[in-house]
Amino acid sequence: MSSYFDGIEPVRYEGPDSATELCFRHYDPNATVLGKRLEDHLRFAVAWWHSFAWPGGDPFGGQTFDRPWFGDDMNAAKAKADAAFDLFAILGQPFFCFHDADIAPGAEGFEESARNFDAIVDYIGEKMAAGGPRLLWGTANLFSHRRFMSGAATNPDPDVFAWSAATVKRCMDATHRLGGENYVLWGGREGYETLLNTDLTREAEQAGAFLQKVVDYKYKIGFRGTILIEPKPQEPTKHQYDHDVATVYGFLKRFGLEDEVKVNIEQGHAILAGHSFEHEIALAASLDIFGSIDMNRNDYQSGWDTDQFPDNPREVALAYYEILRAGGFSTGGTNFDAKLRRQSLDPLDLVAAHVGAMDVCARGLKAAAAMLADGVLEDARAARYAGWDTSDAQEMLDDMDLAAIHDLVVDADLRPEPRSGRQEILENLVSRYV
């Protein structure tokens, strides 16, 4: 059978000095790093939406890509799935991710939409059974259709809340059926365009109730995966409720769901929130809600979610450093929520984008693992806080009130002596590993 990717061979690891254009130079899935295979550390996933459904449009112009599977009927959806599995065979990555709307044509009626979706899920299930990657996560697109223009769970119209809940139920069923390891909720329209027409209290309560129903349903069907919220501060809405990791944690605490739900952190979303990728990961790990990552890179000038493939080993290394420090992925992984630039028309572009990104991630992870194994950063961090390891310091923290601390300072004639934070020395250290 002919394939869109005909003429492109499965990509192999050939090492950093290879002259082959399309090969892995750093990503050797079987190499052992910190006692674990690289493939099991990184847990790469290809995203159905950017790689197979996105037509190459931007706000000033429509489709630039000409894919043979584009169309809105079931035959087109099957051809799209065939092409997806052809790309998976070339890349050999262990996972993929999808939204309902990426894989199957929607319809105006709920039942017809759901029938289309279930049929394609079966088709994908057959392809998975014949070999190929597993499902890292499924999700529902509750943002593209005009019915969601004022939100999904947070919509002022209860009918849209109901439609959204029914859709998530179908998508969780499908994710469970395909053996998915996580289920993601990204609230692209859960936010507002203007406060002038928005009731913040109601919308938060609707979102909390919705999430509780998702968690309840997970237990009802025996889904063992992790429920993940993907933070993003804005775009498409002016203000998105799941703004960043800290905001999501506050929301989870408010509704008592902090032990049930974790976060899927995206590089570009962290940047839009005014944070670094590693900040968001480190904070999630420290709050015990780190789950998974959407790997990409954001343009630092545009102010939009540009979803480019990662190409900066240092940035990636700092992100994986925080992930490894937190113990690595459990159900999570590295999903390439990344798309080609709209002039990159060819099948080769799609393959090369993933190959380069997988190599950059492998480089980053290896550098991060070496930094962690050598312990240089952790030793410096421990030394910086060593004063707190004394029993006196702990007693002050746990047992003394302000008056007692005041007396202690006066009695001991305490004069704190500033010490260097050694930032440049630590940055130089990182440079030696990357």
Residues annotated as catalytic are 99, 102
What 8-state DSSP symbol labels residue 151? -
Amino acid symbol at 351: V
> What's the closest the beta carbon of residue 335 comes to ligand XLS, in angstroms?
7
- Angle at 391 (CA atoms; ends 387, 394), nearest 5 degrees: 75
- Angle at 52 (CA atoms; ends 225, 83), nearest 5 degrees: 95
Per-residue binding letters, 210-239, with ligand XLS (x by CB under 6 A) = --------------------x-x-------
Q: Which does 244 bind (CB under 5 to 8 A by kind): Ni ion, ligand XLS, none?
A: none
Sign of the alpha-carbon dihedral angle for 145, 147, 150, 154: negative
> What's the closest the beta carbon of residue 184 comes to ligand XLS, in angstroms?
6
Among 28, 100, 266, 315, interactor with Ni ion by CB under 5 A:
266
Q: Which of residues 359-418 bind ligand XLS (CB under 6 A)?
A: none
Among 44, 88, 163, 186, interactor with ligand XLS by CB under 6 A:
186
Dig out the tokens for 266 from the structure: 């995206």
* Size of the residue set binding ligand XLS (CB under 6 A): 10
* Contact call for residue 260 and ligand XLS (CB under 6 A): no
* Contact call for residue 266 and ligand XLS (CB under 6 A): yes
Amino acid symbol at 253: K
* Contact call for residue 305 and ligand XLS (CB under 6 A): yes
Across 278-426, the runs of DSSP E, i.e. the strands, are 290-295, 334-336
Q: Which does 278 bind (CB under 5 to 8 A by kind): ligand XLS, Ni ion, none?
A: none
> What's the closest the beta carbon of residue 38 comes to Ni ion, in angstroms?
23
* Contact call for residue 96 and ligand XLS (CB under 6 A): no
Q: Are 198 and 250 in contact (CB under 8 A)?
A: no
Question: In the bound complex, which residue of the shown chain has the CB atom lying closest to ligand XLS?
Answer: 186
> What's the closest the beta carbon of residue 298 comes to Ni ion, in angstroms?
9
Q: Are 251 and 208 in contact (CB under 8 A)?
A: yes
> What's the closest the beta carbon of residue 141 comes to Ni ion, in angstroms?
12
Measured in residues, the chain has a length of 434
Per-residue binding letters, 130-149, with ligand XLS (x by CB under 6 A) = ---------x----------
> What's the closest the beta carbon of residue 425 comes to Ni ion, in angstroms?
35
Alpha helix segments (H runs only) across 136-276: 158-177, 200-221, 245-254, 267-272
Helix axes 347-374, 423-433, angle to 10 degrees: 130
> In 3D, which of 42, 20, 152 has the Cα closest to residue 95?
42
Among 242, 260, 278, 294, interactor with ligand XLS by CB under 6 A:
294
Q: Closer to Ni ion at the Cβ: 117 or 336?
A: 336
> What's the closest the beta carbon of residue 9 comes to ligand XLS, in angstroms?
30
Q: Which of residues 300-359 bind Ni ion (CB under 5 A)?
A: 305, 337
* Contact call for residue 280 and ligand XLS (CB under 6 A): no
Distances (CA, A) of 266 to 96, 153, 322: 16, 22, 14
Q: Closer to ligand XLS at the Cβ: 57 or 256?
A: 57
* Contact call for residue 86 and Ni ion (CB under 5 A): no
Q: Which does 139 bind (CB under 5 to 8 A by kind): ligand XLS, Ni ion, none?
A: ligand XLS
Distances (CA, A) of 258 to 97, 289, 310: 24, 7, 30
Helix (H) or strand (E) holding 46: strand 44-47
* Contact call for residue 294 and Ni ion (CB under 5 A): yes
Q: Closer to ligand XLS at the Cβ: 260 or 294?
A: 294
Q: How far, in whole angstroms, is CA 87 from its chain's centroid?
A: 21
* Contact call for residue 337 and ligand XLS (CB under 6 A): yes
* Contact call for residue 181 and ligand XLS (CB under 6 A): no
Cα(281)–Cα(321) distance, rounded to whole angstroms?
10
Amino acid symbol at 200: L
What 8-state DSSP symbol labels residue 51? I
> In 3D, which of 186, 117, 101 has the Cα closest to residue 151?
186
Q: Closer to ligand XLS at the Cβ: 37 or 238?
A: 238
> What's the closest the beta carbon of residue 186 comes to ligand XLS, in angstroms?
3
Burial status of residue 198 (CB atoms within 10 A of its CB: 0-12, 13-18, 19 or more): middle
Interface with ligand XLS by CB under 6 A: which residues? Answer: 99, 139, 184, 186, 230, 232, 266, 294, 305, 337
Interface with Ni ion by CB under 5 A: which residues? Answer: 266, 294, 305, 337
